Amino acid sequence: MLHAIFKRKGIYLEENRIFKDIEFVNLYNDAFNLKSAGNYRGAIEKLEKVLQIGPRDFAWAYALMGEQYYFLNDYSQSEKYLKKAIEMDEHCMYARICLLKIYEKKNMKLEAQQEEEKIFEYNPSLFGLRKR
C-alpha cells in the first residue's frame, strides 16, 4: 500500500507539500503497512527512524507512533506522542481521536469532553460526533 505524505493542513497550494525524500517516504509507508498488518512493534521501529530523518514538524509521524503505543496498551507513551502531534498541528484529527479514546478508556471524562469539543470544532461531521 502506498500513501502520499502531506505536511500539514493548510492553504492547499501553499502549505501542503509532498515530501520528496524517498527514504523518509518509504520508511513511513513501511510503518503504515506494518501497522495495518498488526505488527505494532515493527511499526514503532520504522517510525523511530522516520522521526530521526524526517521533517521535524511532521505531526503525522508522531500521531502514528502514538497510535502504535495505544494498540500496545501503553497509554502513557501513546499520550506523549499524540500530544506532540497535536502541539505541532492542532488540526491532526488522527491524533485527537486516538487521544479521545485513551481518555475514555482511562475514565478521564473532563479531558475526553474537551477533546471531543475540539474534534467537533474542527470537523463536526467526523465519526458522527455531535455537540452535547
Tens-digit pLDDT profile for residues 35-91: 999 999 999 999 999 999 888 888 999 999 999 999 999 999 999 999 999 999 998
Helix (H) or strand (E) holding 67: helix 59-71
Q: What is the pLDDT of residue 122?
A: 84
Number of other CB atoms surrounding residue 19 within 10 Å: 15
Is it the case that residue 3 has pLDDT exceeding 70?
no
Mean pLDDT, the chain, integer: 84
Pick from 59, 52, 79: nearest CA to 67: 79
Question: Which residues make beta-bridge pairs with 6?
Answer: 18
Give the torsion sign (CA, 44, 48, 53, 59): positive
Residue 2's pLDDT is: 39
Cα separation of 21 and 52, whole Å? 13
